[in-house]
Amino acid sequence: MYGSIRRAWSKVFGKYLWVTNTVSSGGLLAVGDGIQQYIEHARGVNLTAGYDWKRTGRLFLVGLSLGPPHHIFYIWLDKVLPQKNAKTVFKKVMVDQILAAPYFAVIFFVGAGLLEGKTLKGAWLEFKEKFPVVYAFDWCLWPPTQAINFYYVPLKYRVLYINGVTVIWDVFLSYMKHRDQAVNTNEKIPSKSS
């Protein structure tokens, strides 16, 4: 049994790493949205009468689209900056923050917006409106996370590690994406007679 698990593990994080990174990106973005929907319902900020499976499905698809670029980006970054010293890790973090973070934010907001039925212009406007807050939080969460990633985590586990931390990030992204669509169900709706 141990041998079977070990062979499967080596395929998932070896031969099929591209698929692993893609599916985990989609799955964990869906999990992040599920957690955010739970928080919304618990706080009385309910977007629908129940759980919005279509919303989670859209974010799952967006997450799938983010997996391959993440996979390629980390391989490229290690080829360009292969050392594991403090100076190189700092450079990797800066490249990640300056190049990758804005790119992935665009893909997230535009992709999710298009899947919601927005026009490209409408999705772009939403990105422009929400990006400053998203990017500010990005600078709080990702530099220390990526420093650990680039210094300690082996390349084949980097996207998985990032996807684990991404659950926190994905809850935040789901909140930012849907916050202006929320309706507080705890507030009483005024009657027409008042």
pLDDT higher at 57 or 47: 57
| Ranges 27-31, 130-134, 164-168: which has the least confidence | 164-168
Phi then psi dihedrals of residue 45, to 5 deg: -100, 90
Q: Confidence class of residue 73 from pLDDT cuts 50, 70 and 90?
A: very high
Q: What are the C-alpha distances in Å from 36 to residues 75, 86, 139, 146, 185?
A: 31, 35, 21, 24, 16
CA distance 38 to 15: 36
| Contact (Cβ atoms closer than 8 angstroms) between residue 163 and residue 25 | yes
CA distance 121 to 124: 5
pLDDT at 9: 58
| Contact (Cβ atoms closer than 8 angstroms) between residue 114 and residue 58 | no
4 pLDDT above the threshold of 90: no
Phi then psi dihedrals of residue 113, to 5 deg: -65, -45
Over the chain, what is the mean pLDDT? 86
Residue with tokens 């680039």, as numbered in its chain: 150
Q: According to the 3-state scheme, what is the secondary structure of 103-128? A: HHHHHHHHHHHHHCCCCHHHHHHHHH
Report the amino acid identity of residue 149: N
Q: Confidence class of residue 70 from pLDDT cuts 50, 70 and 90?
A: confident
DSSP state of 184: B
pTM beyond 0.95: no
Q: What is the pLDDT of residues 86-141, one digit of tens each?
A: 999 999 999 999 999 999 999 999 999 999 999 999 999 999 999 999 999 999 99
CA distance 34 to 28: 10
Buried b (16+ CB within 10 A) or exposed e, 124-155: eebbeebbeebeeebeeebeebbbebbeebee
Q: What are the C-alpha distances in Å from 136 to residues 67, 92, 97, 144, 191?
A: 23, 19, 11, 14, 40
74 pLDDT above the threshold of 50: yes
pLDDT at 48: 65
Q: Confidence class of residue 187 from pLDDT cuts 50, 70 and 90?
A: very low
Tell me if residue 168 falls in helix, strand or coil. Answer: helix
